[in-house]
Amino acid sequence: MQIFATPKDHRKAKPFHDHVFVFSIVDDHIWFRNYQISVPHNEIDKVDKGGLDKMTLVEVGPRFCLNPIKIFGGSFGGPTLFENPFYVSPNQIRALEKRKKAGKYAKKVKAKVRRKM
């Protein structure tokens, strides 16, 4: 409630709920989607008795994806409850790219020495 609720007596607060937040887990990622409940209205701006069957969800955003790395028992530390085994840090990716480039350079130096011989 503290994160997603509207503050009490907020001037733009509405007395009804017209949004749905969806959290789903797909492909080891947490997906967040925000939908608005769309209800057809008649001329006097009231919902028809049969109008509840015609309700639809319209995605209004924002939509984002979370890739959890570690989940701790405390706020910023404590025992590790979950650790993603598939996560590769950007530093490891950069180090691998540097090693590949270093290998290419070493091959060029060896080829140059062979040509001189």
| Mean pLDDT by groups of 10 residues along the chain of 117 residues | 73 75 89 85 60 78 89 92 91 91 84 93
- HSE toward the beta carbon, residue 27, CA cutoff 13 A: 4
User: Do residues 67 and 29 touch, judged by C-beta distance below 8 A?
Assistant: yes
> Would you state the pLDDT for residue 9?
79
- HSE toward the beta carbon, residue 88, CA cutoff 13 A: 5
Whole-model pTM?
0.55
> Would you state the pLDDT for residue 32?
93
